[in-house]
């Protein structure tokens, strides 16, 4: 007898809306998805034209593109084009996240849509960022669709459950206290070790002490986040499987998006708590000077993005594995490979390959510079260090012009924290979508 076709279960639409409310949320999610796709097409077009122009096939298009895409900004034309691409990437990521958020019935899914529309409008008028129109239309459209039924949004049950469990009793506070105690101890140790050392060399500028303390604290936090964030999420879904509660949840009306987002929210909110709790410690550096507010903010951005992205890696492997142990091993292995091993090996390989060449052609040098930038952006620690040195030595936090050694021409480069943030958030958003997809699969 003929087997009826089974529904293909994608994440992008609620597979089977059982009431008008779910149908509405599904429509909004579809709007977000099409918006993200359209933005992707625009990026592809811009890159294609830029490539043709850069290779000299159609010369002199950069100025026109600058005028068209980011018309109200000054600065180099090529930097403007690169900036446009990065901004659209951010929009795509935001649209993907909002799509999942709306499906998971998170209120930030709707608020985020309106905020995104607003930010893009500002970008449109202040920077002349014309591709913003696409996102404005998408976000307003989806925002209107879901705005008609605000009651669809609710507190995520999974997050509530997780937080109730996690914050119950003394444990959560003991963990926080131990964490802060350790951080304070290390800070004190750093101070005690560094001050006499710098006195001995006669360079005991207070600013330098402050900077060393700041870098030390951020470094420790970064290491902690790298280990803690995946640990919180790697057991999120496999844990339910091991406790045999996964089937129970699967037979409820809870959607996979709600489940994954709830788990992620609860894990990341705890990570965020740890980060926020350590900000006063970072600020000790202010007492000595040598650290600016901008550095504190940037370090917080890098730490948060690291936590979010590594958390999503954990969630993804947790959805794909059946045991927490397997999920943890895969999470840490792939994290280490992607952030440390791969950049390190590639850097060494590149060095060996190009080391013998005395003079590089400008194009090769430019390409190598960009590859180098991307490799740095893969690793949060390298990103933090390079961002800080760029800030201190060249006072740059955004785009800057790099002069090539080969022919003295300039190419636009971007401070690593920006490329790092975009790469990590894009990967994070993709992993969340993949994790949800994994959860949709019915056991064969």
Partner 1 sequence: MELIIETKNLKKRYGKFEAVGNLSLEVPVGSIYGFVGPNGAGKTTTMRMLTTLTRPTDGQAWVAGHSVTQEPRAVRRAIGYMPDEFGVYDDMRVWEYLDFFAACYDIPESTRRGLIDDLLELVDLNHRREDMVDKLSRGMKQRLSLARTLAHDPQILILDEPASGLDPRARVEIRELLVELAKMGKTIFFSSHILADVSEICTHIGIIEAGQMVAQGSMDEMRHQLMPHREIVVTVRDQETADRVKSLVGDADGVVSASIIEPKSGRSRVRIDFIGDDDGVAALNQNLHAAGIAVMGFTEETKDLEAMFMRVTKGMVT
* DSSP run (H or E) holding 411: strand 410-414
**Rule CB under 8 A: is residue 6 a binding residue for partner 1?**
yes
Token output for 89: 């990437």
**Rule CB under 8 A: is residue 164 a binding residue for partner 1?**
yes
Q: Is the dihedral of CA 334, 339, 342, 345 positive or negative?
A: negative
**Rule CB under 8 A: is residue 150 a binding residue for partner 1?**
no
* DSSP run (H or E) holding 399: strand 399-403
**Rule CB under 8 A: is residue 355 a binding residue for partner 1?**
no
**Rule CB under 8 A: is residue 157 a binding residue for partner 1?**
yes
Give whichever of 165 and 181 is closer to partner 1, judged by the CB atom. 165
Residue 439 C-beta: closest distance to partner 1, Å: 13
Residues 132-162: b if buried by 16+ CB within 10 A, e if exposed: bebbbebbbbbbebbeeeeebbeebebbeeb
The span from the CA of 353 to the CA of 291, in Å, is: 38
Closest to 257 in 3D by CA, of 384, 404, 96, 395: 96
Residue 244 C-beta: closest distance to partner 1, Å: 5
**Rule CB under 8 A: is residue 201 a binding residue for partner 1?**
no
State which of residues 30, 38, 231, 249 lies at the interface with partner 1 (CB under 8 A). 249
**Rule CB under 8 A: is residue 293 a binding residue for partner 1?**
no
Residue 266 C-beta: closest distance to partner 1, Å: 12
**Rule CB under 8 A: is residue 18 a binding residue for partner 1?**
yes
**Cβ-contact 159, 260 below 8 angstroms:** no
**Rule CB under 8 A: is residue 322 a binding residue for partner 1?**
no
Residue 47 C-beta: closest distance to partner 1, Å: 40
For 94, 203, 234, the CA distances from 142, given in Å and listed in that order, are 13, 58, 32
Residue 262 C-beta: closest distance to partner 1, Å: 10
Contact pattern for partner 1 over residues 99 through 138, marking x by CB under 8 A:
----------------------------------------
**Rule CB under 8 A: is residue 75 a binding residue for partner 1?**
no
Residue 74 C-beta: closest distance to partner 1, Å: 52
Closest to 84 in 3D by CA, of 51, 123, 58, 56: 123
**Rule CB under 8 A: is residue 199 a binding residue for partner 1?**
no
Closest to 421 in 3D by CA, of 369, 392, 384, 385: 384
The span from the CA of 357 to the CA of 142, in Å, is: 54
Helix 77-103 / helix 416-440 crossing angle, nearest 10 deg: 30
**Rule CB under 8 A: is residue 8 a binding residue for partner 1?**
no
Residue 166 C-beta: closest distance to partner 1, Å: 8
**Rule CB under 8 A: is residue 251 a binding residue for partner 1?**
yes
**Rule CB under 8 A: is residue 168 a binding residue for partner 1?**
yes
The span from the CA of 338 to the CA of 383, in Å, is: 14
**Rule CB under 8 A: is residue 20 a binding residue for partner 1?**
no
Q: Which residue is associated with the tokens 């550096």?
A: 285
Q: Give me the residues that bind partner 1 (CB under 8 A), please.
A: 1, 3-4, 6-7, 15-16, 18, 154-155, 157, 160-161, 164-166, 168, 243-254, 442-444
């Amino acid at each position: 007898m003929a087997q009826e076709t089974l529904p293909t279960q994608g994440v992008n639409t609620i597979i089977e809306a059982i009431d008008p409310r779910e149908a509405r949320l599904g429509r909004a999610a579809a709007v977000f998805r099409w918006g993200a796709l359209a933005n992707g097409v625009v990026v592809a077009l811009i890159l294609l034209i830029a490539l043709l122009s850069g290779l000299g096939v159609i010369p002199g298009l950069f100025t026109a593109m600058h005028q068209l895409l980011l018309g109200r900004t000054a600065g180099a034309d090529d930097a403007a084009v690169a900036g446009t691409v990065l901004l659209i990437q951010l929009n795509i990521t935001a649209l993907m996240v909002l799509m999942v958020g709306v499906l998971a019935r998170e209120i930030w899914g709707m608020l985020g849509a309106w905020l995104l529309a607003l930010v893009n409008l500002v970008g449109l008028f202040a920077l002349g960022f014309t591709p913003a129109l696409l996102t404005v239309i998408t976000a307003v459209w989806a925002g209107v669709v879901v705005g008609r039924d605000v009651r669809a949004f609710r507190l995520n049950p999974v997050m509530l459950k997780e937080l109730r469990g996690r914050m119950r009793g003394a444990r959560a506070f003991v963990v926080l206290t131990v964490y802060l105690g350790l951080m304070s101890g290390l800070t004190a140790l750093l101070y005690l070790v560094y001050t006499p050392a710098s006195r001995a060399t006669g360079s005991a500028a207070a600013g330098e002490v402050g900077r060393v303390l700041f870098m030390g604290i951020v470094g420790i936090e970064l290491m902690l986040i790298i280990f803690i964030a995946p640990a919180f999420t790697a057991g999120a879904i496999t844990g339910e499987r091991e406790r045999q509660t996964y089937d129970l949840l699967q037979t409820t009306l809870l959607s996979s998006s709600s489940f994954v987002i709830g788990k992620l929210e609860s894990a990341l909110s705890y990570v965020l708590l740890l980060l926020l709790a350590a900000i006063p410690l970072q600020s000790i550096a202010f007492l000595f000077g040598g650290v600016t507010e901008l550095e504190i903010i940037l370090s917080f951005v890098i730490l948060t993005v690291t936590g979010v992205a590594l958390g999503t890696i954990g969630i993804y492997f947790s959805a794909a594995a059946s045991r927490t142990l397997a999920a943890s091993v895969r999470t840490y292995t792939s994290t280490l490979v992607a952030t440390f091993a791969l950049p390190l090996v590639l850097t060494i390989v590149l060095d060996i390959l190009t080391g013998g060449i005395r003079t590089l052609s400008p194009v090769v040098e430019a390409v190598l510079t960009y590859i180098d930038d991307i490799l740095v952006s893969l690793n949060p620690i390298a990103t933090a260090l390079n961002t800080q040195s760029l800030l201190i030595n060249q006072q740059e936090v955004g785009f800057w012009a790099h002069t090539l050694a080969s022919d003295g021409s300039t190419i636009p480069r971007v401070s690593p924290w920006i490329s790092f943030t975009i790469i990590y958030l894009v990967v994070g958003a993709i992993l969340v979508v993949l994790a949800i997809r994994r959860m949709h699969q019915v056991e064969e």
